[in-house]
Amino acid sequence: MTARILVVDDIPANVRLLEVRLLAEYFEVLTATNGPHAIEICENGKVDVVLIDVTMPDMDGFEVCRRLKSDPATSHIPVVMITPLDQVSDRVRGLEAGADDFLTKPVNDLQLMTRVKSLVRLKTLTDELRLRASTTRNIGIEELLSRNFASADTTPKVLLIDERKSSFERVQKMLRGSADLDIATDPHAGFFQAAETPYECVMISTGFADFDPLRLCSQLRSLDRTRFVPIILLA
């Protein structure tokens, strides 16, 4: 699972600690050291989950959460508040500000990943529903019915990213006549090729000598144009 996570804390060591944990799970991590910067990132970029410390100077985490939840452009972004004290009053105040979940310092790895992954799934579903609602408003029925849909027997367009000749030639032979197969031997070039071409499936080999194939999967899932494209990992 991949997503873009914003970590907000005025203490650099705390930011780095969470960043390392999230990067190890192939999340893309953004960071901010104060409330106004965090709000700016959420307004200007795609953020899937916000992890924010409640005890920051000038603008604390409660105020940042309240402002994010009061803005229609950012109200759908899940916010997890990180508090040094497991106090009921803090949780009540956080809920009143619109927080979606809470973590207590020191943050437990299992709790962190469980909450983040759960909220990422929620955010993905929310984004899909918002997109469908927007599409319904923007596309008229006549335009929808006038579209020319591809026939069911159209050969699917597939991308294979594999640097080993013997491997991709074998797959190429197996899919001959069943799929319109493109091959990329460089993973970086393959990523851009997948983003620029409407493939129905992307196949990724795990046999790269100097590249992590899971990182490539994560990058494809983080891009809007390839977020829902099926990925087959060849191990």
Tokens in use for 235? 């191990």
Range of the domain at 30: 4-135
Residue where one domain finishes, among candidates 103, 135, 167: 135
Rg (CA), the chain: 21
Residue 77 inside a domain? The answer is: yes
Residues 13, 125: one domain?
yes
Residue 142 inside a domain? The answer is: no
Q: Is the dihedral of CA 99, 105, 107, 108 positive or negative?
A: negative
Give SS3 for 162.
coil
Decide if pLDDT at 159 tops 90. yes
Residue 205 inside a domain? The answer is: yes
Residues 64, 179: one domain?
no
Tokens in use for 16? 């780095």
Residues 30, 100: one domain?
yes
Residue where one domain finishes, among candidates 76, 102, 135: 135
Residues 77, 20: one domain?
yes
pLDDT classification of 189: cutoffs 50, 70, 90? very high
Residue 38 inside a domain? The answer is: yes
Residue 150 inside a domain? The answer is: no
- Count CB neighbours of 167 within 10 A: 14
What is the pLDDT at residue 152? 55
Residues 113, 168: one domain?
no
Q: Which of 22-36, 46-60, 116-130 has the lowest mean pLDDT?
A: 116-130
Residues 223, 108: one domain?
no
Q: How many domains does the chain have?
A: 2
The larger pLDDT score, comparing residue 60 to residue 127, is at 60
In contact, 172 and 183? CB cutoff 8 Å: yes
Give SS3 for 157.
strand
Residue 101 inside a domain? The answer is: yes
Residue 146 inside a domain? The answer is: no
Decide if pLDDT at 36 tops 60. yes
